[in-house]
Structure 1
Amino acid sequence: MNTNDFSIRHIGNNAQQSAEMLAVIGKDSIDSLVEATLPQNIRLSEALDLPEALSEFETTNHLAELAAQNLKVKNYLGYGYYGTILPAPIQRNVLENAGWYTAYTPYQAEIAQGRLEALLNFQTVIADLTGLPIANASLLDEGTACGEAMHMLLESRTRDQKKNNVNKFFVADNLFPQSVAVLETKAHGLGIELVIGNFETTEITEEFFGAIVQYISKGGQVNNYRTFVEKANAVGAKVAVATDLLALTLLTPPGEWGADIAIGTSQRFGVPMGYGGPHAAFIGCTEDYKRVIPGRIIGVSQDRLGNYALRMALQTREQHIKREKATSNICTAQVLLAVMASFYAVYHGKDGLQYIADQIHTKAAVLQGGLEHLGFKLTNTSFFDTVQIEVENSDEIVKIFAEEEINVNGFEKGKISITIDEMTSEEDIFELLSVFATIKNTEDSFEFEVDDSYLPKDLIRTSDFLTHENFNLYHTETELMRYIKRLERKDLALNQSMIALGSCTMKLNAATELLHMSWERMGNVHPFTPKNQVVGYQTLIKNLEDYLSVITGFDATSLQPNSGAQGEYAGLMVIRSYFESKGEGHRNVALIPQSAHGTNPASAAMAGMKVVVVKNLESGETDLVDLKE
């Protein structure tokens, strides 16, 4: 037996077991089984043009070679992605623990009480920090979370707004560009007219059903949106806010100044950047939206004996029940990463999170003071972690820093932004200032006064948060490990047993496939890093795209969708756009079998298609007569 063969270790059956199964069905080989079941006219006539498979050891070495091609640089790019310190007890006991990373989607509450408690902790973090009463057990990423919020507000229009086809949605121009891109795509499918502009100068009229703003803006400014929200609400428009969880430990939460929905990412809570993901996004909302909030919601309940128990709640709004009438095609959650973020909050607690946030802000304030001292023109009057200057030669400055193996943000023409995170040291701040001094052709001792805070005084947080005992008992490594283990014992994962449920989410990530998540040159890589600094990642991505193109027989492959449901939505949007490009936009009917997964009709509806259901026979086969009709 070739013990280096990946399939022997992970597919789950050996030659003897295969022979036993073949005997039961009356076949003498796998080839004869294929011959009897797979029509000749759809079989490949020749082998796939793919390289030889590597053993697990060879794969690890190959990944190490690719990782070495990703340069080790210091990133201050921000834009929704930040360096973060993953506490070792969480890395070893959650991320690298099969009791957590092989756990199945928690459809059966009885065998998932530990995970459900960790996810309830996650929801509590989101509700407490955003100041909104309801949160779900995570979404896919911040961009798609913005899209989900817009869809929620569309579906929640008043009867008069729907009757009058009120379809305008305001997008603040300070939103992260990746979020704007997702909103533009989703708006096209839903027939929404996006209006992108300055939140202070754009007039929100009765033609708008909603708006979204960024708290904190992409350039770092902390804006007060109270007046904007009041004006929007006065004409019946509701407001969603993309926000930063860590900043909300110091700033007034959106729920306290009138926001209906808050979204963002929990990546800052101990989850590596990983060149863009995956990360667990979040969404919180008021009670008015509990029937349309997407994804999983964990609720507190009782078992048949009256004991405390957890379950997934409010599922009647989900696409597997509402199908094409659902508000979202999201059918899962980033559970492992949401669990990591929740344990990060459990480990640090309120005081620890505020300390981390204070340290970040203090270092940003020192940087601001140093740049002011050097004579640079600063743009942010108030900020949390991002300092921005106006310069004429922004491209040249970006290059100067790149030569020092430092990446600063020059994405806005004529401006340079520097975002401080949990990993930034005092030495890093003065390294940045010394480069800026060189740019100014000066040597400096950097003796200057620093303001205590650049947080706006009218937005300082006064409300309490994370008061539940779970966030106040486990601040030592020993207590945290014991808590993690207690929850793990209440769960069933593949390290204990097979879960006898079939689903698109039943899969096993081999340990070898997860090792690189903890490697610095894989995990600590910002997604907007210049491509010439991440040759390893670029090679990995290109190879996978090429392999998948060969396997599927298509000309090219996109790896952009980050779930099966997002993939089918992307495919349907491509089909819709194809017909529109030919002047055949009226061809908008999607035939979907009655037996299809609930995400299928939901995705079609989101893509602006009319869903026509094709019936199934009692045998489960498609009713061909109904299909022809």
Structure 2
Amino acid sequence: MKTDAFALRHLGPRENDLPKMLQTIGVETLDQLIYETVPDNILLHKGLKLDEPMTEYEYANHIRVLGRTNKVFKSYIGLGYNPTIVPPAIQRNIFENPGWYTAYTPYQAEIAQGRLEAILNFQTMVIELTGMEIANASLLDESTAAAEAMALLFDVRTRDQKKNNVCKFFVSEEILPQTLSVLQTRSTPIGVELVVGNHETFDFSNEFFGAILQYPGKYGQVNDYTSFIAKANENEIKVAVAADILSLVKLTPPGEMGADVVVGTTQRFGIPMGYGGPHAAYFATKEEYKRSMPGRIIGVTIDTNGNRALRMALQTREQHIKREKATSNICTAQVLLSVMAGMFAVYHGPKGLRYIADKVHSSAVTLADALNKLGVYQTNTSFFDTIVVKADAKKVKAIAEKHEINFFYIDDETISISLNETTLFKDLNEIIAVFAEAVGKEKFEVNEYALENNFPMHLNRKSEFLQHEVFNSYHSETSMMRYIKKLERKDLSLNHSMISLGSCTMKLNAAAEMLPLSMPYWNTIHPFAPLDQVQGYTGMLKKLEQQLNEITGFAATTLQPNSGAQGEYAGLMAIRAYHIANGNSHRNVCLIPASAHGTNPASAAMAGMQIIVTKTMENGNIDVEDLRAKAIENKDNLSCLMVTYPSTHGVFESAIKEITQIIHDNGGLVYMDGANMNAQVGLTNPATIGADVCHLNLHKTFAIPHGGGGPGVGPICVNEKLAPFLPSNPLVKVGGEQAITAISGAPYGSALVCLISYGYICMLGAEGLKSATQHAILNANYMKARLEEHYPILYSGEMGRAAHEMILDCRSFKAKGIEVTDIAKRLMDYGFHAPTVSFPVAGTLMVEPTESEDLAELDRFCDAMISIRKEIEAATIEEPNNVLKNAPHTLAMVTADTWSFPYSREKAAYPLEYVSENKFWPTVRRVDETYGDRNLVCSCAPIEAYM
């Protein structure tokens, strides 16, 4: 046994477990199981061409050496990305803690109360700093958040504006360049016309429905937008403001100026730059727009006992429910990063944030004064952290890079310098020395801050913020560590038990893959750093793209989309660009099977496509004849088919090559949703089944952790036809020869966490990846064999096998008064997170164990489900006071003086023997969703509540 082989650590089942598992399934070998699961006509007959797998030790050395080829310069580039100090208490206890980074999206609120509280803190922080009424649980990055703001303002146009097709959207020329590029991408397909210009000369005509401003501007100029917003509102033009959140500690918040939406990034609240991401964007707006707001909102409600509880609010806003009526396809927040940003505010409190903001601003004022003395004149009339100076850019750049310093060079004689939390007097004096050398003058040093503010007095923030108890209690590391631990104990994560969510692939996130994220060679790099300084990143990212090309069978990859839904959108926009380039702009019909993920039609709607739903047969497969008829009927305008493979029902459909051929024969292309790629890697691939483009969920198949609901990465892989259209970036050359504009703000999206997938592939190698897929299918079919005597399995392949997941049909239990939700809640008492509830079929559970779970854990879950089946059998519709309806059972219930239930405390809390060895206690009883939506509260209680 090669005990240093990574595959040995990643795969759950041990070699001596296989005979028992195969016997239970009813096959003799693993190869026989794969033959009975995957159609023979799509199996790969050659292995993947990948490098030999590294051991964990070899990979650690490799990634350290590769990281050192990145040059860590002092970064004053700005443009929405700033060096920051990650408090060690947050780095160690959250960023590096699997109790936080392996949790799933908090759909099961009772076992996610800690994370929900942390996100509520984040929302409160955003609401108060922006001066707005409501905020969501984070978005992907500032640029995509700005695009979501544009879409919201377009959606809430007045009746007359909609009637008269008012479609112009004003974009200030002060907007960040990457944000402008994303706005260009997102505007055209939905019928919005962008007009870029100077806000001071804007004419407020009735042709405009909205506008977006940058505060401060891209090169640091602080403008007072109060009169602009007032005049816009007079003319029924709604205004979004993209604001630097740290500046709002000192500057009048946009909400107090009358803004309708405020967006931005919280990166500088203790989140590393990481070559562009992941970072938590924020989105805040007015209460009246809550039903049009993208993303997730965490709200306050009560549980069965009337006690305070938290959960995701307004669930019907989720885009997978709106489908083709969606105005956004967002299904991922940046939870791990929003938790970190919120904790940054908790740790520092309002006084600490003021100290940081004052220091940053004072550094900028001090530097501006010093450079003026050198004759290097600063041109911003008002600024917070960024100054613009006139000097010979070529000469300055050469000297600065010699001193390992990066500025942003606007043109040959204009330089932007953004200061940040990490800037010390030593750094200011280094900058002064660079400019002194450039202009041939004697250098001098500063050792005290200029005290004046360099923005108008009337823009000085007067309103208080972060007065709640949580932001004023945990300022020592001891208290902070304990607060984080208190919240962590309320959350069930992968470090406690299997999370068997179908379609979500909650596999091991190995420590060896995660460790490089904390290395400064990787996490302190600015996304717009000169290319000769980022050879480690470009090498790693290029290699990852090549690995994904090989795995998918495609020609090219972009890593830019920073979620699965963004990957869907990027794939569709590449298809759209291909048709336009070939003179077929009329091809806009998108066929989508009825069983598809809800983000599929949402993404197609955002890409400006006409959606036609095709039928699904009773066995869960695509109705090929209905698809053929609709493809032929729409052959003149057919753009594409969106198909998930294996199917959303967890089946390898044998007709898949016929399906893709039908689309090609009628002039369309095939987009494959990669949500279920964990059943394909090394066995088949999207190119083999006939797809033209697929997105991959690196936060599923390729081991990036879910982080409690994000970060995600959703790259797209494409064939030769679509490679020219991969997305670009306005500041770093990426993308194809006929590239579409940007999908996200950074050239490589959330580049930092791409290290995880790179490590996963490097350490598993070709055989390890194939073995992972085989074991995912093995584990699913073992569980199917154990559970099918107790629960009907809704769909299976032609030989009776599941792919990597299966659907348990729970609809018949309604006859006993038991809903699928009751089973989900009762599983908490057994120490498990529920599988996917009521997707893709209402009243069912979709179970996906992944390859990482060992036989003992699979058996514990099966034992729990079988025990619950017996509890269902004992239930009666006449007597709802049963163990399922009352689940989950909290410690407070079980230890209360009175016990009014017709079953024992032991049955409630310790239904099987294994539970007592590792009991997880939900901290609230079943939450009341309806109460919370009727009484929407999505921030911490006001200060009066603590008095």
Task: Give me the TM-score of the superposition, normalised by structure 2.
Answer: 0.65
Map of 2:382 onto structure 1: 382
Distance 2:292 2:444 in 1: 57
Map of 1:159 onto structure 2: 159
Task: Say whether 1:65 aligns with 2:48.
Answer: no
Cα 1:20–1:409 change in 2 (3 A) is: same
Map of 2:544 onto structure 1: 544
Distance 1:365 1:508 in 2: 49
Match runs of 1:204-283 below 5 Å: 204-283=204-283
Task: Say whether 1:106 aligns with 2:106.
Answer: yes
Match runs of 1:32-431 below 5 Å: 32-391=32-391, 393-431=392-430
Following superposition, the deviation at residue 172 of structure 1 comes to: 0.7
Cα 1:264–1:412 change in 2 (3 A) is: farther
Q: Is the 8 A contact 2:395 2:438 kept in 1?
A: no
Task: Give me the TM-score of the superposition, normalised by structure 1.
Answer: 0.98
Match runs of 1:573-592 below 5 Å: 573-592=573-592
Q: Is the 8 A contact 1:137 1:338 kept in 2?
A: yes
Q: Is the 8 A contact 1:168 1:209 kept in 2?
A: yes
Distance 1:623 1:108 in 2: 34
Distance 1:449 1:255 in 2: 30
Q: Is the 8 A contact 2:396 2:434 kept in 1?
A: no
Distance 2:114 2:449 in 1: 50
Q: Is the 8 A contact 2:189 2:608 kept in 1?
A: yes
Following superposition, the deviation at residue 412 of structure 1 comes to: 4.3
Task: Say whether 1:600 aligns with 2:600.
Answer: yes
- The secondary structure found in structure 2 opposite 1:410 is strand
Query: Residues 376-425 of structure 1, C-alpha deviation per residue, up to 9 Å, x if partnerless?
Result: 2321111111111123x323322221122111110345310111101110
Cα 1:293–1:412 change in 2 (3 A) is: farther
Q: Structure 2: state its 5+ residue gaps.
A: 630-947
Q: Is the 8 A contact 2:362 2:449 kept in 1?
A: no
- The secondary structure found in structure 1 opposite 2:547 is helix
Distance 2:413 2:316 in 1: 50
Distance 1:456 1:222 in 2: 9
Query: Residues 106-140 of structure 1, C-alpha deviation per residue, up to 9 Å, x if partnerless?
Result: 11001100000000000000001000010011111
Structure 1, 333-342 or 615-624: larger mean CA deviation: 615-624
Cα 1:280–1:619 change in 2 (3 A) is: same
Following superposition, the deviation at residue 480 of structure 1 comes to: 0.6
Percent identity at matched positions? 57
Map of 2:517 onto structure 1: 517
Structure 1, 2-11 or 363-372: larger mean CA deviation: 2-11
Structure 1, 223-232 or 560-569: larger mean CA deviation: 223-232
Q: Is the 8 A contact 2:346 2:470 kept in 1?
A: yes
Q: Is the 8 A contact 1:369 1:449 kept in 2?
A: no
Distance 2:272 2:512 in 1: 18
Q: Is the 8 A contact 2:171 2:211 kept in 1?
A: yes
Q: Is the 8 A contact 2:433 2:444 kept in 1?
A: no
Following superposition, the deviation at residue 486 of structure 1 comes to: 0.6
Distance 1:541 1:406 in 2: 24
Query: Residues 463-516 of structure 1, C-alpha deviation per residue, up to 9 Å, x if partnerless?
Result: 111111000111111111111011011110011112232233634422111111
Following superposition, the deviation at residue 19 of structure 1 comes to: 2.9
- The secondary structure found in structure 1 opposite 2:200 is coil
Q: Over aligned residue pairs, what C-alpha RMSD do you find?
A: 1.5
Distance 1:219 1:597 in 2: 41
Q: Structure 1: state its 5+ residue gaps.
A: none
Q: Is the 8 A contact 1:263 1:281 kept in 2?
A: yes
1:126 is aligned with what amino acid? Answer: V
Map of 1:435 onto structure 2: 434
Q: Is the 8 A contact 2:360 2:421 kept in 1?
A: yes
Q: Is the 8 A contact 1:369 1:451 kept in 2?
A: no
Distance 1:35 1:286 in 2: 56
Query: Residues 55-76 of structure 1, C-alpha deviation per residue, up to 9 Å, x if partnerless?
Result: 1111111110111101121111
Map of 2:610 onto structure 1: 610
2:76 is aligned with what amino acid? Answer: Y
Query: Residues 32-53 of structure 1, C-alpha deviation per residue, up to 9 Å, x if partnerless?
Result: 2222332332222222111111
1:426 is aligned with what amino acid? Answer: F
Map of 2:463 onto structure 1: 463
Q: Is the 8 A contact 1:139 1:333 kept in 2?
A: yes
1:186 is aligned with what amino acid? Answer: R
Q: Is the 8 A contact 2:432 2:443 kept in 1?
A: no
Map of 1:495 onto structure 2: 495
Q: Is the 8 A contact 2:429 2:444 kept in 1?
A: no
Q: Is the 8 A contact 1:205 1:232 kept in 2?
A: no
Match runs of 1:444-455 below 5 Å: 444-445=443-444, 450=450, 452-455=452-455
Following superposition, the deviation at residue 312 of structure 1 comes to: 0.4
2:440 is aligned with what amino acid? Answer: N
Cα 1:224–1:618 change in 2 (3 A) is: same
Q: Is the 8 A contact 1:261 1:285 kept in 2?
A: yes
Cα 1:425–1:163 change in 2 (3 A) is: same
